[in-house]
Amino acid sequence: MSSAPAHRVVVLAQNGAYPFELGMPSRVFGAADDAYDVVLCTPDGGPIRTNAGFDVTPSVGPEALATADTVVIAPVEPYSLRRELPDDVRAVLGTIRHGARVVSICTGGFTLAAAGMLDDRRATTHWQCAPLFREWFPGIELNEDVLFTSDGRIHTSAGAAAGIDLCLHLIREDNGPELANAAARRCVVAPHRDGGQAQFIERPVANSSDQSTSSTRDWALARLRDPLTIRTLAGHAHMSERTFARRFLGETGVTPRRWITQQRLGLARELLETTALDIEAIAGEVGYAGAASLRRHLSASVGTTPSRYRNTFRSAR
């Protein structure tokens, strides 16, 4: 590893915090070969009470926010959310240095929104809290369908698992895919889920097949090795291309083209991780014309080649 100082991550915890999300940044960033130094602070420097009923004592004072490279706003249970921030929370958020990266996990986005830090930015939060978020902060561009968003120095994530995905994404941004994949393996989680991937949302199923693209998505998943165009998908759904694209985006949060790419790359990563198939064979299995095409798409998605992805994944076991 480089002799450069570790990247300082300061997690800000408030009363009502979820214990898992408090520890998760330390666990994920801590799996990245000492590249990060993760500490916990609270608005007033004293202990906070988690929603599980036990107290957590911070390791540093709130002044640590002024020198942090990354600040993570931990989430609180919905009952603890407030439209107006307590004075001490607003005050410590004002000490975050200019240029620091700011990250929210789950309902932590409410804290950023109330502080004005999401104004004119894209954001996400847990889908169950999205209606309240829209009511309180109608001027913020919220997309509750995605796992996480990145808008300049501000990053927001959906539920707990999406926070893991965002932390891995940031490791990948800072240090490259090899270290991110190694950290994922140490945490026994998927090495990469695209931020645009939809949250797993319990929404009512449309009453009839002509109102939903669900059956067509299932149909496409079984045919990833075949040519799949918007025309093909719309034809299966018995919709015009325009109607299909609009409904697909509304149900998944991504365009049909991007969704197909995500599914193909997800299957390719699975085959790279679990089989000895050569790259050309894997490309064919997931619908790409050859190894060069798979290499190009995987590199654009996760910043590495199929061979390096496979080797990194195995070496991290």
Q: What per-residue confidence (pLDDT) applies to 144?
A: 83
At which residue do the structure tokens 């034809």 appear? 235
In angstroms and rounded to an integer, the radius of gyration of the C-alpha atoms of the chain is 21
CATH of the domain at 35: 3.40.50.880
Same domain (yes/no): 157, 257: no
Same domain (yes/no): 84, 181: yes
- pLDDT confidence tier of residue 1, bands split at 50, 70 and 90: very low
Total domain count, the chain? 2
User: For residue range 231-279, what is the model confidence (pLDDT) as tens digits?
Assistant: 999 999 999 999 999 999 888 878 999 999 989 998 998 898 888 899 9
Same domain (yes/no): 63, 171: yes
Same domain (yes/no): 179, 249: no
User: For residue range 184-234, what is the model confidence (pLDDT) as tens digits?
Assistant: 888 888 666 666 555 544 443 333 344 678 889 989 999 999 999 999 999
Tell me if 196 sits within 8 A of 253, measured CB to CB: yes
Same domain (yes/no): 83, 136: yes
Mean predicted confidence (pLDDT) in 87-99: 96
Q: What per-residue confidence (pLDDT) applies to 206?
A: 39
Same domain (yes/no): 248, 169: no
Tell whether 199 is covered by a domain: no
CATH of the domain at 243: 1.10.10.60
Average pLDDT, the chain: 88
Question: Domain of 92?
Answer: 7-187
Tell me if 295 sits within 8 A of 306, measured CB to CB: yes
Tell me if 199 sits within 8 A of 59, measured CB to CB: no
User: For residue range 117-127, what is the model confidence (pLDDT) as tens digits?
Assistant: 999 999 999 98
Tell whether 173 is covered by a domain: yes
Among residues 158, 187, 216, which one ends one of the domains? 187
Is the pLDDT confidence value at 38 over 60? yes
Whole-angstrom Cα distance, residue 256 to residue 39?
Answer: 41
Residue 146 half-sphere exposure toward CB, CA atoms < 13 A: 23
Closest CA to 156 of 99, 194, 109, 101: 109
Global confidence as pTM: 0.69
Same domain (yes/no): 86, 32: yes
Mean predicted confidence (pLDDT) in 174-190: 85
Mean predicted confidence (pLDDT) in 293-300: 91
